[in-house]
Amino acid sequence: MTKYLILSDIHGSLPALHKALDVFRREQCDELCILGDILNYGPRNGIPDGIDAMGIASELNALADKILAIRGNCDSEVDQMLLDFPIMQDYMLLVDEGKRLFLTHGHIYNEGKLPKGHFDALFYGHTHLCGLTENNGMAVCNTGSVTFPKGGNPPTLSIYEAGVIRLLSLDGALIKEMRI
């Protein structure tokens, strides 16, 4: 059984990444799924606390064999040059114990623009607004942002294991849980 930590929108903040990796280790996750916007803070955001693209690259490259990642709207070919794992795909289909999980950043596919096909769950970030809902029999998890949460939410991420999605604050507190 594989346990996945799924997060989005690090936006260059090394302290936020450290907190997320603390959750990864404490929860004994097997894989780290990053839904984009890894190194660049983006022109519409402020400069994050502890901005350190090279530090983030170093931390994540040490875990490269455990990372599945996709491209966010702030990620580029230059970012890929710093990372030892692929980030340039816009989405990924992950099949775990027969459950079909669609992972994307959210600027192309999201709850308002669903991908074609059958999926048990859609995971995305981009809006920095966390949420865990159901849409036509599919679980929809917006992991929020570990660095720039919006809507009065705390920094958030999610964990998927054995058909259960848990949306957590960055300090590990459970916000919502759903079985698919």
Q: What percent of the chain has pLDDT over 70?
A: 100
Render pLDDT for 93-120 as a digit per residue (tens, 0 to 9): 999 999 999 999 999 999 999 999 999 9
34 neighbors 24 (Cβ within 8 angstroms)? no
- Calpha distance 28→86 (Å, rounded): 23
- Calpha distance 180→173 (Å, rounded): 21
If pLDDT is split at 50, 70 and 90, which confidence band does 46 have? confident
Average pLDDT over every residue of 170-179: 96
Render pLDDT for 64-102 as a digit per residue (tens, 0 to 9): 999 999 999 999 999 999 999 999 999 999 999 999 999
Count helices and strands in the chain by DSSP H and E runs: 3, 11
In the block, which residue shows the tokens 């983030």? 56
Residue 177 has φ and ψ, to the nearest 5°, of -135, 145
